[in-house]
Structure 1
Amino acid sequence: MRRLFSNRGATVGLVTVLLLFAFAFLGPLVSPWAYDYIDYTALSSPPDGAHWFGTNNIGQDVFAQTARGMQKSLLIGLLVALFSTAIAGFLGAMAGYFGGWVDRVVMIFVDLLLVLPSFLIIAILSPRLKQFGWLILVALLALFGWMITARVVRSLTLSIKEREFIRAARYMGIGHFTIITRHILPNVASFLVIDATIAIGAAVLTESGLSYFGFGVQPPDVSLGTLIAQNQNVATTKPWLFFFAAGALIVFALASNLLGDGLRDALDPTSTAGRTGRRRRLRAGGRGRGGAAPVGRAAALSEDAPAAPVPTRPTGETR
């Protein structure tokens, strides 16, 4: 956690994401207006004491609508990231661990889904399945959002399964699925956490794009995409109708990427940014103790030499 909070960008991203989540899920509780309530005495009213973000052309409160739209977009993004990461972790670990025909079948399926135009397929299927509500959108987005992650998990598993503690678990007769769930997946958990964090932002953007074109969340419900689509024509004449939803979407996308980058640097010491920060801390520590910083070839060796390997231990009991 110290490495995460020492990264200024990651700290800003984390605080921003938490504030947006608070706005989305606590905003409707503090707002005096429901998102679908129509105030006939305030049509297209600018922000004031009664309506904090103003009202739209039929008198609905923009604050309540933006909070509701943010809530729906975040909920979809969270579920898509959760399901797609779970699918990627399980199938990628299975392909890398078992190899053979299991690996071939999973990779053929991955390659097939990668060449399909996912946005077009979701746009075609979603309106035809709208009777299932926004949950079908979650299922479709998760179905087309796990393939790249599964490939990375597979490559990591190919390396992990050759380590001594995995071989020892096999020799002791531990089941394959127990090895996958208790030894392999925990060793790739840091990558999955980073990927899921970034996937939330990507899923929110994809959902907003689909809803903008009318293929995602359907009226009378709202999301950030539907709010942007409904008010794009009055962005210059009535900016409060457009810029609150658009600004929330942009800020969340940037914050989730900053947070994902910070988690990568904190959880993966081999990343470029992580090595750069470690070198700076080593230099500052040497000077702070009064020691001379290494120069010339000694400095190059001290900065570029790989760290000693840390012995790998199993993450669970082997018996």
Structure 2
Amino acid sequence: MTVAIVLLAAYVLDRLIGDPRSLPHPVVLMGKAISALERAIRRFVRKPRSLKRAGVLLPLLVAGGSWLVTAVLLWLLSQISPWLALAAEAWLISTTIASKGLKDAGMAVYAELKKGDLPAARLALGMIVGRDTAQLDSPEIVRGTVETVAENIVDAIISPLLYALLGGAPLAMAYRAVNTLDSMVGYKNDKYINLGWASARLDDVANYIPARITALLLTLSAWLLRLDWRRCWQMVRRDARLHPSPNSGYPESAVAGALGIRLGGVNVYHGVASFRAYMGEPLRSLEPDDIIVTSRLMLLSSAIFVVLCAAAAFLWNGG
């Protein structure tokens, strides 16, 4: 019962308050730790082969350290009061979820598009994507926003909730550390191809099952929202594996199918064009309202999943 309550409380906390800037956020501390470790490693390790070996050490230290610090903190709080520990655990899990932040980021782009302010919409999109946005027109801004919201359903909501179910706040925090590592060092460029390979691979493994669960949840949500759930599932089966990421194609193809749009295409990163496989079929042109529908799919699928997690926790512990 307590696990179910903690999961529900964590999700509600995130939906209500998100990540207020006035409160310290664990991901900020993780980022500082990763940067410090990277500097230390590069100070003593320079050869490519040695950097590749050190790349294994990085996720072990960061993810393992995040798990250990969280577990010790909760144990210390439980010695003061079990209720204090439960409250802290709910808050810690809520910091690994970003449903409100994801919705707010998407709606910030939508608001500027509805006002017809393309420069402001490009700027808002640039806050949440790595691609160049300065030359994008309205449909491409919508595409970038929809792709980002869809992709992040996995690592910003479903994955942390699943790991919180399996191992409480310590495992959810370890997952968030893995995801933060991937976002900071998991690149296939000259700087990180050796040091970041293990972090990128671990992130792929951690999100493998959650991504496929997300595709199922989005299909169910599409049915509940009276969208094209059949095409949603059809596009998952047809297009998900075409994405360069082993996981991102599942939510993106599901959303593309449900909305009857095509995602993917040419993205520009630091002036260099890169083609990403198409997801879905262009039954119609992209419109700003697609951001709203994608947000609804995200919120409904995440609400369904947290209820399923709470029910599983309740039954797991004997009701």
> Fold match, TM over 0.5?
no
Higher strand share: 2
TM-score, normalised by the number of residues in structure 2: 0.32
Higher-Rg member (1/2):
1
